[in-house]
Amino acid sequence: MLVQTHLFIPGPTNIPEAVRQAMNIPMEDMRSPEFPKFTLPIFEDLKKVFKMKDGRVFIYPSSGTGAWESAISNTLNPGDKVLMSRFGQFSLLWVDMAERMGLDVVLCDEEWGTGVPLEKYADILAKDTAHEIKAVFATQNETATGVSSDIAGVRKALDAAKHPALLMVDGVSSVGSIDMRMGEWGVDCCVSGSQKGFMLPTGLGILAVSQKALDANKTSKMRRCYFSFEDMIKTNDLGFFPYTPATQLIRGLRASLNLIEAEGLENIFARHHRMAEAVRKAVAAWGLKLCAKEPKWHSDTVSAILVPEGIDANNVLKTAYYRYNTSLGTGLNKVAGKVFRIGHLGALDEGMIGGVLFNVEMSLLDCGVNIKAGSGTGAAAEYFRSTATKSATGVTEASEKKAA
């Protein structure tokens, strides 16, 4: 096949050409006296993406899972009680990590297709008058089910209970694509990764921490080495790293941050919402349903789409891949074989969304799903046309008057 596979999984995402070119460089000396001139501004510019008021950002050569572990091991102690919720594969894995690292997990086990249970969190926190709970965990965007949760609502629950617990957020598939306001929402640790909204290959675990989390680090007795805040701080302050950094990925990160700044975070969030809404319009036109149970849970970075009874979602995935050269996200764990996922985050525009919907439509028809050809793509096209702005089309009032 001469055409590159159309990639619409929810990460790794498509890499903009400017980012790819920035990484296409010879190896460099990461101990060079010139290196800090490059690295120090990156730490500061990352803070802008997280909308932080204080604290700092760590960049680990790892996946987002490494940043998960760093957040836990640097701020908590073995046996600490923490509040968590489980409603998809990635929130499940974070719970599993917490338990394996010796934390006492107070668990809210929720239906897959829903998100962080704010009412339950509020009730549990209000009853914890002794403040035994040391940290509250929330997955902002559950990639497996296409569910987004209200982090501001978690902060309100903590504030209402006057609870001092740390707020830990998994923002791996949200940061850089869905609004994250660490400062305003009082988030203490926010986990992200390079392969989602930052539009890079996998390989950088990015962890933003508040001053409160840095203070908690001073009393944390959990064993740590590779992910130690202390080691990172000593060298990061000088513009270096305690071990060999992924220099080419960090070069790509610089280019990605430049693109993010040029477009503007609010414009990026609006674009992601618009791309997601077009996919949701298509799903509705097909007569299918999302795994997300209600609109309040809808994710702007990934849609998990339920297939009808008697249809195996894996066949839809294989058909899309082998017949139409399109990679879609598979169903994980409880929703395996029941959903396929369309990732719509990172470097995307209307034509790309239209293309994946066209290929998904053909795949569904080939697999025996009773939909009308053109229904989903047509609904998305109408939505895009009705919401297009003059700036988006390149047409200005001046050019219209000149043409008249």
Spatial strand order of the sheet with 326-330 comes to: 6-8, 326-330, 339-343, 302-306, 289-290
- pLDDT tens-digit readout, 84-99: 999 999 999 999 999 9
Whole-number pLDDT of residue 403: 36
- pLDDT tens-digit readout, 134-182: 999 999 999 999 999 999 999 999 999 999 999 999 999 999 999 999 9
* Mean pLDDT within 206-226: 97
Whole-number pLDDT of residue 39: 98
Domain topology for 6-11+265-393:
Aspartate Aminotransferase, domain 1 (3.90.1150)
Whole-number pLDDT of residue 393: 44
Spatial strand order of the sheet with 189-193 comes to: 56-61, 204-209, 189-193, 166-170, 133-139, 81-86, 104-109
* Mean pLDDT within 309-323: 98
* Mean pLDDT within 98-103: 98
Whole-number pLDDT of residue 394: 45
Report whether pLDDT(267) > 90.
Answer: yes
Query: What are the extents of the domains in the chain?
Result: 6-11+265-393, 17-262
CATH of 17-262, one of 3.40.640.10, 3.90.650.10, 3.40.50.970, 1.10.240.10: 3.40.640.10
16: burial class by Cβ within 10 Å (0-12, 13-18, 19+)?
Answer: middle
Q: What is the pTM of this model?
A: 0.94
Whole-number pLDDT of residue 399: 35
* Mean pLDDT within 327-347: 98
* Mean pLDDT within 61-65: 95
Contact between 6 and 355 (Cβ < 8 Å):
yes
Whole-number pLDDT of residue 53: 87
Whole-number pLDDT of residue 1: 58
* Mean pLDDT within 382-393: 80
Report whether pLDDT(391) > 80.
Answer: no
